[in-house]
Amino acid sequence: MAEIEIKNLHKSFGDFVAVKNSNLVIENKEFFVLLGPSGCGKTTTLRMIAGLELPTSGNILLDREDVGYLRASQRDIAFVFQLFALYPHMNVKNNLAFPLKMQKFSKTEVDSKVMEAAKLLRIDHLLKSKVSSLAGGDRQRVALGRALVRRPKAFLMDEPLGTLDAEFRELMCLELRKLHDEIDATTVYVTHDQQEAMSMADRIAVMNEGEVLQADSPKIIYNKPKTKFVANFIGSPGMNFIPIKEKITPNQSSIKLLDSSLKIPEQREGTNSNENFLGVRPENLRLVSENGVKGNIFGVEYLGSRKILTVETQLGNIKIRVDSDTQVKINEQIQFDTLNNNQIIFDGSNDMALQSEFMS
């Protein structure tokens, strides 16, 4: 197992820049998720780590050895593809044995390693089956088995659960994480699904337009996003952004919102711009009977354990998470205020979060 370090990694295809000078350190035994919308460069980054694409510039260090320009076969990593890429002309056993045949193992060694991997993934009863006869989940397991059978330095996974149905995906999330812990793997996992990322990752790197915006634990990514994009992308629904028409200065601890004043965490930085945003998560707002911001209920989404209200206000549409037994009607006038002091100010000029009492 290994540590992976990415230094100033850059990749362009002609005029299109897929990955912009990215820096990341993925620690030994870490479950690291690259998260972002499609086209953000996460898969390209992964393919460069694997050796399926060569970087335009920059370095990739695997256990402090620069492998950026080595062939995929010389890097000792394993890759799980979205469509599994199981060889259809071989049965399950041969698929699992394929990576071992290249290394000089005796036939009995190959057999025992295949058996070990198959038992670990509970597919030992399928060894003689044809790949085409397997169900989605079993294919997934065979693909994982093929990756772990030769115990590589790192596992790279490119949306491996993307083709499974929702129910099975949750189960596989758990299994993947358990497997990762059991074999002390270093895993780099690419997905666009924040739920997968949140539930499995030790750390998440959120990417957009080829740039790594933030790499932190799921909790920090969720609660203390460094940019407006991260704040909006993570969470369902994303963070509310309330426009504030005032310049924020260091040590400021309240802002004017319509005609009332709102307490915010004490700021450590000021903004460049006069038009900024107050970021607040839907669950950090609550309905109150007086002295709140007024608005009309525009929509109600019932989600079982909770309800998401969309409220039309003079500040724009705001989402509020309430208990599912809260009774509200469409067009009803309500008032709300903030539940706690977890607000974040985003500088309107660069969409970056300001340092504050809460953020630091």
Q: How far is the CB of 52 from another protein (least distance, A)?
A: 5
CB 114 within 8 Å of CB 93: yes
* 99 vs 237, beta carbon nearer another protein: 99
Reduced to 3 states (helix: H, G, I; strand: E, B; else coil), residue 197 is helix
- Rounded to whole angstroms, the Cα distance separating 147 from 133 reads 20
What is the helix (H) or strand (E) element at residue 157, kind and residue range? strand 154-158
The C-alpha torsion from 117 through 119 and 123 to 125, rounded to 10°, is: 130
Q: How far is the CB of 89 from another protein (least distance, A)?
A: 4
Binders of another protein among residues 142 to 161 (CB under 8 A) are 146, 150
CB 82 within 8 Å of CB 122: no
Q: How far is the CB of 235 from another protein (least distance, A)?
A: 32
Out of 132, 236, 272, 350, which residue is the one contacting another protein (CB under 8 A)? Answer: 132
**DSSP for residue 125:** G
Beta-carbon contacts of residue 1 (< 8 Å; ≥ 6 apart): 28, 29, 153, 154, 184, 185, 186
* 64 vs 89, beta carbon nearer another protein: 89
Residues 96-125, mask of contacts with another protein (x by CB under 8 A) = --xx--xx----------------------
Nearest to 193 by CA among 234, 137, 240: 234
* 75 vs 169, beta carbon nearer another protein: 75
Binders of another protein among residues 40 to 99 (CB under 8 A) are 50-52, 71-73, 75, 77-79, 81, 83, 85, 87-89, 98-99
Establish if 15 lies at the interface with another protein (CB under 8 A): no
**Tokens (6 digits) for 253:** 């601890």
Q: How far is the CB of 189 from another protein (least distance, A)?
A: 16
* 47 vs 228, beta carbon nearer another protein: 47
Beta-carbon contacts of residue 45 (< 8 Å; ≥ 6 apart): 6, 9, 11, 19, 22, 34, 190, 207
Q: How far is the CB of 67 from another protein (least distance, A)?
A: 12
What is the helix (H) or strand (E) element at residue 288, kind and residue range? strand 285-288
Rg (CA), the chain: 24
Q: How far is the CB of 70 from another protein (least distance, A)?
A: 12
Q: How far is the CB of 81 from another protein (least distance, A)?
A: 4
CB 234 within 8 Å of CB 241: no
Q: How far is the CB of 87 from another protein (least distance, A)?
A: 6
* 152 vs 279, beta carbon nearer another protein: 152
* 50 vs 311, beta carbon nearer another protein: 50
Q: For tokens 């670990």, name the residue.
A: 120
* 96 vs 200, beta carbon nearer another protein: 96
Applying CB under 8 A, the site for another protein has a residue count of 23
Sites of contact with another protein (CB under 8 A) = 50-52, 71-73, 75, 77-79, 81, 83, 85, 87-89, 98-99, 102-103, 132, 146, 150
